Amino acid sequence: MEFQYQTHTTTRPTHSTEIMLLTKLMAKTTTTHGRRTLMTGLVGLPNVGKSSLFNALTSTVDGAEAANYPFCTIDPNKGIASVADPTLDTLATVVGSKKVIPAVLEFLDIAGLVEGASKGEGLGNKFLGNIRECDAIIHVVRCFEDEDIIHVSQSVDPVRDIAIINIELALSDLEQVENKLSKGKKKLSANEQAVLHTIQDALSEGLPARSLEQDLTKEEALFVQSLHLLTMKPQIYAANVDDESLKEGNVFSQTLMDHIHDHSGQQDSMVLCSAKFESELVGIDNDEERAEYLEMCGLSAAETGLNRLAKSSYDLLRLSKWGGNWWVGGVGDVWEMFGSD
């Protein structure tokens, strides 16, 4: 079953608006909770904190292996993370629901890519195939110095690091487009061939396929979607900083943000996070102790990297707090449902 999204707005509805929304939704009772879980893949170079961040996102302290050497992750780890939405609590209170079911996202922890991945280096073909399964990408970038944690390039340079990954994704797409043009040309319409040549030119110039998205017609977009191109997937950069830089960032994250702004415009965005801090936070079971720890660090719950990533992931997948549908199943349940267009 597919569910349509409402248009995203940034203004929080008033209480009366929520009541009106609830009244409308009560007329839309449904007999199934069926929904498609959207999957976001965590990618990046080896040893940048992907597995630690994955474990924190999915609240699994002893989940994916996180070690100080490349390729500690080979088979992708999957995990589900629910995203808290205060609106659900409001609706549940108004309707007197006994059960509240939040929206969920599925995360895939993909092993680190290296230069030459598109040619099979470092099990690159396997890892690139894992990325194709995802709806969106969180590109984890190391933005901290630590002599005890090995960097595959022996130095911290976020702009260089993202270039390695983005080039490998583009080369993989370029090979796929060229194969499509050479081997499947007879099955392609003239317009489809023209679209492929346009994508080929963009990739050759170092631009991701998603840079052309706004110029595609609906039919062309559906054709491109069928190719499952890696650089067509929406992407967000997770700048993995040290604990002290979680609130304001540091010179590495600022350099990365400037680069993204200059080269991606409004297409890509960046979120500050600290895999180390989030791992420590998720290990605190007591809510009061967790709140005290956040206060001691000068942070609120909304300022943690996990909450930032969750909100950004929703935007990334064209979801938002006010862009989904809240369904009321009689008086018993209230749940939030998201799906693809």
**What type of residue is 120?**
G
State which residues of the chain have pLDDT below 70: 1-37, 59-76, 82-86, 103, 114, 116-126, 265-266, 302-303, 314-316, 318-341
Give pTM, 2 decimals.
0.74
Q: What is the pLDDT of residue 302?
A: 65
136: enclosing H helix or E strand: strand 136-142
Contact 157, 163 (CB under 8 A): no
How are beta strands 333-337 and 325-329 bridged, if at all?
A: antiparallel
**Please, where are the H alpha helices in 58-144?**
86-95, 124-132
* Token pair belonging to 316: 């990334």
CA distance to 39, 104, 198, per residue, from 36 (Å): 9, 10, 32
Q: What domains, with CATH codes, occur in the chain? A: 37-158+234-336 (3.40.50.300)
pLDDT at residue number 166:
92
Six-digit token pair at 39?
């999957």
Nearest partner of 326 among 16, 11, 30, judged by Cα? 30
What local confidence, expressed as pLDDT, does residue 106 receive?
Answer: 82
Look-up of token digits 């720890």 = 293
pLDDT at 322: 36
DSSP string for residues in 8-20:
P--SPPPHHHHHH
Which pLDDT does position 152 carry in this prediction?
A: 80
